[in-house]
Amino acid sequence: MNTSITLRRSLAAALLALAPMGLCLAESKPAAAEASIPFANHGGIRDWQADSERGLWVQANNRKWYYARFMGPCSGLAFATHLGFDTGSQGNFDRWSSVVVPGRQRCAVQTFVPSKGPPKKKKANATAAPQAAGGM
């Protein structure tokens, strides 16, 4: 019985000794690469598409897409036909920037990362489904 208690204590001590190592490994994981669109204040943004009220896909002039997630809901974004991009004094659009929805509000960007772009729109069926012929 003494051997069993000693073994348990040794195992517990080993686990406690290795626990900080696991925390260090978890913290050393690289986060998603932060991105930036240079010269956004001088025509560096080519296109954009809203993702409801939670985010925005932004395309740079080099045709690369990025995704900006907002700190909170961006009211009116889904229906906006034009936006303002507040880049600050640096002129780059990044996670420190914000988007202005005309007549609504300023939406602060929380994260800005590379993206594959907005989802592709599904094409409508070229042929309509045949309707059942029913007699009365």
This prediction's pTM? 0.66
**pLDDT tens profile 70-113:** 999 999 998 999 999 999 888 999 999 999 998 888 999 999 99
List CB contacts of 99: < 8 A, sequence separation 6 or more.
56, 68, 70, 74, 77, 83, 84, 85, 86, 106, 107, 109
Confidence of residue 18 (pLDDT cuts 50, 70, 90): low
Cα distance between residue 94 and residue 37, in whole Å: 7
Q: What is the pLDDT of residue 34?
A: 80
Confidence of residue 130 (pLDDT cuts 50, 70, 90): low
DSSP helix, strand, coil percent of the chain (3-state; round to 5): 25, 30, 45
